[in-house]
Amino acid sequence: MRRFLLQSFLYSALLLSLLSCKTYHLTDVKTGSGSEKMVANQYFSSKEDYVYKCQIDIYKNHISGILIIKKINETTHRVALTSDFGNKLIDFEISDKDFKINYIIPDLDKKIVKNFLKNDFQQLLKHEYPVNERFENNQSKIYVSQDDNKKYYLFFNKENGLLEQLIYTKNNREKINFSFEAKKHIFADSIDLQHKDFKINIKLFQITETE
């Protein structure tokens, strides 16, 4: 199974030049009101452990395990992935600027795998977003945040104020779509991460809920 995971990462890299991402733009929205200069993804802001059942689909391969995320200081999270049998697969620390591997099994100790881990979790765990534009539709308040050639679109539910969707783009091309289901601001019950330029989908389902 581990070898399938590695082979799929390598395969997806070879196909990158053959795949294309569509230019992303908002539709059916109007200019929003408000004075917020900053918005935040609060789902990983608690210092309690976030424990999820993790399902990864890479092309035709399926991998499952347990993912644990813990905030260790104001800028850094520690992330560990184990197999369903409790064997550690990956353990790393990550922030907006740093990525430190504490442990990784040899089958996954490849540059392309580590680059995926770094990029996906930096986007998932990114906390604050300066607001450049505001839009809205019937369901959501939408905030656009730009950082050089990267753009983030954050969709907050109008009724409960919870973050429901985060779209990450680079050079105006949609890269990753994060969907959240939650009942409180600091903990997402489930997360669906879909890559737009690779056939990779990661789903997280809560096991223990933080207070």
C-alpha distances in Å from residue 87, one per residue of 68, 84, 103, 113, 177: 13, 8, 12, 18, 29
Q: In Å, how far from its chain's centre is CA 166?
A: 8
Residue pair 23/197 in contact by the 8 Å Cβ criterion: no
Q: Closest Cα to residue 203, out of 77, 44, 96, 67? A: 67
Find the DSSP H helices in 24-80.
Answer: none
Residue pair 175/166 in contact by the 8 Å Cβ criterion: no
**pLDDT tens-digit series, residues 114-128:** 888 899 999 999 999
Cα–Cα dist 55/7, whole Å: 17
Exposed e or buried b per residue across 49-81, where buried means at least 16 C-beta atoms within 10 angstroms of its C-beta: ebbbebbbbbeeeebebbbbbbbeeeebbbbbb
List % helix, strand, coil for the chain (3-state, nearest 5): 15, 50, 35
pTM recorded for the entire structure: 0.86
CATH class of 2-208: mainly beta
Count of C-beta atoms within a 10 Å radius of residue 168? 22
Q: Angle at CA 174, nearest 5°, toward 172 and 180?
A: 130
Residue pair 92/102 in contact by the 8 Å Cβ criterion: yes
- Return the pLDDT at 62: 79
Phi, psi angle pair for 114, to nearest 5° = -65, -35
pLDDT in 10s for each residue of the chain, 211 residues:
555 555 555 455 445 434 555 688 898 999 988 888 999 999 999 999 999 999 988 766 778 899 999 999 999 999 999 998 889 999 999 999 999 999 999 988 888 888 888 999 999 999 999 999 999 999 999 999 999 999 999 999 999 999 999 999 999 899 999 999 999 999 999 999 999 887 788 999 998 654 4
- Return the pLDDT at 194: 92
- Return the pLDDT at 63: 80
Residue pair 9/15 in contact by the 8 Å Cβ criterion: no
**pLDDT tens-digit series, residues 72-115:** 999 999 999 999 888 999 999 999 999 999 999 998 888 888 88
- Return the pLDDT at 3: 56
Q: Where are the domains of the chain?
A: 2-208
- Return the pLDDT at 210: 47
- Return the pLDDT at 196: 86
